[in-house]
C-alpha cells in the first residue's frame, strides 16, 4: 500500500496538544515495563535503513511502546520505521522529516512488524 505522502502534507498539532496527548515528556517513558528506548546501535540501524549520514538522528531519545514479539525479540523504534517503509509505504524522506522536522504529529497506534521474523506483532506508537 503506497501512501505517497509528503511531509508538507502532514498535518501537525499544537505543541500543547501533543504534550497533553502523550506521556513521552514525563517519567513514564522510563518505565521499561511500558516503553523501550532505542540505544545508539538501534539509532544507527535506523540511519542506515533511511540512508542518512551517520549521527543524523543521534542526540534525541526514541521510545516505542514495549512489546516482545512471539519470536522473542523486543521491538524497538527500528521496527516502527521498518513497518512504515514496508507496510505503510512511506518514503524514507517522509519518515526522516517526521523525526527531524518541526511538526508535532499525533497518530493512533498502528500494527508494527517485527524486523527479525516478519510477524505483525503489536499496535504501538513511537515517542
- Residue 73, pLDDT score: 93
Give the integer Cα–Cα distance in Å for 60 and 43: 9
- Residue 127, pLDDT score: 46
What mean pLDDT is predicted for residues 50-58?
Answer: 96
Residue 1 lies in a domain: no
Residue 2 lies in a domain: no
Quick check: 43 and 62 in contact, CB under 8 A? yes
Quick check: 52 and 37 in contact, CB under 8 A? no
Q: Residue 58: give the domain boundaries.
A: 7-124
pTM of the model: 0.82
Report for 34-48, 59-73, 83-97: range of highest mean pLDDT: 34-48
Give the integer Cα–Cα distance in Å for 8 and 57: 20
Q: Which residues pair with 104 in a beta bridge?
A: 13
Amino acid at each position: 500500500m503506497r501512501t505517497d505522502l509528503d511531509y508538507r502534507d502532514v498535518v501537525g498539532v499544537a505543541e500543547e496538544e501533543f504534550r497533553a496527548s502523550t506521556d513521552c515528556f514525563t517519567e513514564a517513558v522510563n518505565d521499561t515495563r511500558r516503553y523501550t528506548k532505542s540505544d545508539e546501535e538501534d539509532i544507527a540501524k535506523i540511519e542506515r535503513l533511511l540512508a542518512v549520514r551517520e549521527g543524523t538522528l543521534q542526540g534525541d531519545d526514541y521510545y516505542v511502546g514495549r512489546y516482545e514479539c512471539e519470536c522473542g525479540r523486543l521491538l524497538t523504534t527500528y521496527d516502527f520505521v521498518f513497518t512504515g517503509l514496508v507496510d505503510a509505504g512511506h518514503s524514507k524522506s517522509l519518515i526522516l522529516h517526521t523525526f527531524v522536522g518541526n511538526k508535532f504529529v499525533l497518530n493512533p497506534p498502528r500494527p508494527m512488524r517485527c524486523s527479525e521474523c516478519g510477524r505483525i506483532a503489536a499496535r504501538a506508537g513511537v515517542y
